[in-house]
Amino acid sequence: MENKFKYAFNEKRYHTFNYYLKSTYHCKVSKVILDAGFTCPNRDGKKSFGGCTFCSDKGSGDSNVALKESLINQYEANKKVMDNKWPNGLYIPYFQSFSNTYGPLSKIKEMLEPFIHNDEVCEIAIATRCDCLEDDVIDYLNSLTSIKTIWIELGLQSSNDNTGKLTNRGHSFKEFVDCLYKLEKTNIKVCVHILNGIPYETTDDMLKTIKDINHLPFDGIKIHMLHIIKNTKMGMLHEIKPFNLISRDEYIELVVKQLELLKPEIVVQRLTGDPMKDNFLAPEWVLNKTTILNDIDKLMRKLDTYQGSKYE
């Protein structure tokens, strides 16, 4: 059967990040993870303590091979890992750990300065929260878009505020929406993170998150499956009484349904995650990322469906 989806290579039926990057830069582009030493307002007491209940003490930057080094040393060490797979490409410094705009503008400028005029850097990605973007920070980041493409990666996880309370997110869905409309007035690109499989969320809840964000102004999405990690609050609760987590087949079917709802212009940067085995608890099936992605493709072909086929 013919695949008529226009935003992908290799018979993919969703708008892959690879398609966006190769169409834009005509070469391999790799993300290089960095930790700039920030924290989060739900960790330091401004909103709460302990952070999101699923988040590790490294703020999701567990795969950083040079965690305690300077930013430049981190960049060179993590870039080397990418070069071993894909030499002679371009790079996206990705400030992944914690909330990288939660601090004074001077610290944010210091974080970005080594990369903004680097010729091998084509874009910069900054993970943060909707409640950590003051007007002066947004203005500064927008000023940089004349030099590099700037992505803000905003963690939402779920549009359900009850889930937000359960996971200690520390902000409401309305705050998230208000932030998107503020960023819409800039040239900054926005990637939204959502998280499937949070305990007590139903399939309808997870599909509703897509429906709730679908008509908002954003450019990309990362869809993750929950990883339960050791020494997190969720991990400790799971070890006492394991949560009922969705199965591999349920996840694949869910993601296909989410992609069908998602407007086709949105760049899909991820459809699952990369858990680190040394601090990982469950579910076991997420450890084989490649087969999950392959089976999502197979199901989309079997159903002859594609991203946005049920977008309204």
Q: What is the pLDDT of residues 128-147, one digit of tens each?
A: 999 999 999 999 999 999 99
Does the pLDDT of residue 60 top 70, yes or no? no
Does the pLDDT of residue 11 top 80, yes or no? yes
Q: 279 versus 180: which is more confidently predicted?
A: 180
Q: 180 versus 80: which is more confidently predicted?
A: 180
pLDDT (mean) for 39-60: 91
Per-residue pLDDT of 166-176, as tens digits, reads 999 999 999 99
> In this structure, is residue 11 part of a structural domain?
no
> In this structure, is residue 299 part of a structural domain?
yes
| Least trusted range by pLDDT, from 78-82, 93-97, 229-233 | 78-82
Measure the N-to-C terminal CA separation of the chain; round to a whole number of Å: 24
In the prediction, which pLDDT does 61 show? 52
pLDDT (mean) for 68-96: 90
pLDDT (mean) for 211-223: 98
The amino acid sitting at 228 is: I
- Which residues are paired to 223 by β-bridges? 194
> In this structure, is residue 4 part of a structural domain?
no
In the prediction, which pLDDT does 113 show? 95
| Least trusted range by pLDDT, from 155-159, 251-255, 261-265, 272-276 | 272-276
Structural domain including 112 reads 17-303
> In this structure, is residue 260 part of a structural domain?
yes
> How many helices and strands in the chain, by DSSP H and E?
10, 9
Does the pLDDT of residue 203 top 70, yes or no? yes
User: What total of structural domains would you count in the chain?
Assistant: 1
CB atoms within 10 A of CB 131: 22
> In this structure, is residue 98 part of a structural domain?
yes
Q: Is 184 in contact with 152 (CB distance < 8 Å)?
A: no
In our burial notation (b when 16+ CB lie closer than 10 A, e otherwise), range 136-164 reads ebbebbeebeeebbbbbbbbbbbbbeebb
Of 202, 284, 255, which Cα lies nearest the Cα of 14?
Answer: 255
pLDDT (mean) for 73-81: 91
Average pLDDT, the chain: 94
Provide φ and ψ at 157, rounded to 5°: 75, -55
> In this structure, is residue 258 part of a structural domain?
yes
> What percent of the chain clears pLDDT 90, i.e. is strictly above it?
86
> In this structure, is residue 10 part of a structural domain?
no
In the prediction, which pLDDT does 208 show? 98
Rg (CA), the chain: 19
> What percent of the chain clears pLDDT 70, i.e. is strictly above it?
96
CATH number for position 151: 3.20.20.70
In the prediction, which pLDDT does 180 show? 98
pLDDT (mean) for 42-67: 81
Does the pLDDT of residue 58 top 80, yes or no? no
Measured between alpha carbons, how far is 22 from 17 in angstroms, rounded to an integer?
9
Q: How confident is the model at residue 81 (pLDDT cuts 50, 70, 90)?
A: confident
In the prediction, which pLDDT does 98 show? 95
Peptide bond preceding 283 in cis form (omega within 30 of 0): yes
In the prediction, which pLDDT does 155 show? 96
